[in-house]
Amino acid sequence: MSKLWECLEALGEVGAAAAEWEQWTGGDFEMFKGAFLQKANRVAGSYPCPRCGDSHKVHPVGDGSYVGLFRGEEDVGCDDFDLTAEQVAVWELNRAGLCRALARALGCDARGEPYAVAGIWEVGTIRARGVVVLLCLLNARDEFRGSVAELSGRVRGRYLLIAPTTGFMDLGCRELLANVGAEFVDMETHIVLTDGGDLEASA
């Protein structure tokens, strides 16, 4: 089953092997990869086992080859398995590309640049409303809350904060946003990946 937007919180900061992204995105993988992933010049530290599905440690064995290591009792029934350099290549989220696609979906003047707060990207401005749109890509609740608090002290005027899901949006964060007249939208509910690999705002 696809957990398309949840994967942005799980893997968006650190990247992962293509197989791990595919575990999260399911049938949307190839489209998602083409639109929003880019290959990094590094090797993944883990790889999902084809037998048990859990992540096994990646270990180099020379000549550009790798092995997924059997780890112990929790992997009973698993053996080490061979991996190629292509399989263990890290794929990272193209944050600027994601911001540009969000800008198109929301009718923004596109920016696609990192903001001065950790984990926050400036998507653009909704010209008709004069509202700045910001995207939060963090994978920990405390970091999310800290960035929301910092935004509330930095941004002048109304803004719209987007996150992949509502998973980190607790009452404290909602109060911080409400105090400055900011709005929150989650991609899981309001953004759709189209068959053409672009994003659309859902009705």
**DSSP-assigned beta bridge partners for residue 17:** 90
Q: Show the beta-strand stretches assigned E in the chain.
A: 16-17, 37-43, 46-48, 55-62, 65-69, 81-83, 89-93, 108-114, 120-126, 131-136, 159-163, 183-186, 191-193, 199-201
Structure tokens at 36: 């929003």
Taking a C-beta distance cutoff of 8 angstroms, is the pair 138, 9 a contact?
yes
pLDDT in tens, 88-114: 999 999 999 999 999 999 999 988 899
Burial class (CB in 10 A: 0-12, 13-18, 19+), 3: middle
Query: pLDDT digits over 4-47, tens only?
Result: 899 999 998 889 999 999 999 988 999 999 999 999 999 999 99
DSSP state letter for 72: S
Higher confidence at residue 175 or residue 14? 175
Tell whether the model's pLDDT for residue 1 goes beyond 70: no
Of 62-66, 104-108, 140-144, 175-179, minimum mean pLDDT range: 62-66
- What is this structure's pTM? 0.88
CA separation for the pair 176, 151 (Å, rounded): 9
Give the type of residue at 87. Q
Question: 74: pLDDT confidence band, cut at 50, 70 and 90?
Answer: low
